[in-house]
Amino acid sequence: MVYHSSKTRGLKTILPSTSTHGRKWVYATKDLVLAALFLATTGGDFTCCIGRDKITGKPYLCERFRGAFDLR
């Protein structure tokens, strides 16, 4: 099972859309916590960096510039 962050519940099919990288993708993860971090998408990759620390395993959400969280 994988998780996909969407405002629409109960999706049966997820169609690829163009990412900020210019390619068509469907993003999904086995990690429920990381999926939750992607629920707010305003500004996408340009506002925040999202990931999981390789040493501690803790998820992180980091502003790319001051005030980026306020935009999301």
3-state secondary structure labels for all residues of 4-59? CCCCCCCCCCCCCEECCCCCEECCCECCHHHHHHCCCCCCHHHCEEEEECCCCCCE
Over residues 11-66, the pLDDT tens digits come to 888 888 887 778 888 888 888 878 877 776 666 667 778 788 899 988 888 888 89
- Please tell me the predicted confidence (pLDDT) of residue 45: 65
Domain residue ranges in the chain: 17-71
pTM, rounded to two decimals: 0.55
Q: Hey, what are 35's tokens?
A: 């999926």
Q: Taking a C-beta distance cutoff of 8 angstroms, is the pair 20, 27 a contact?
A: no
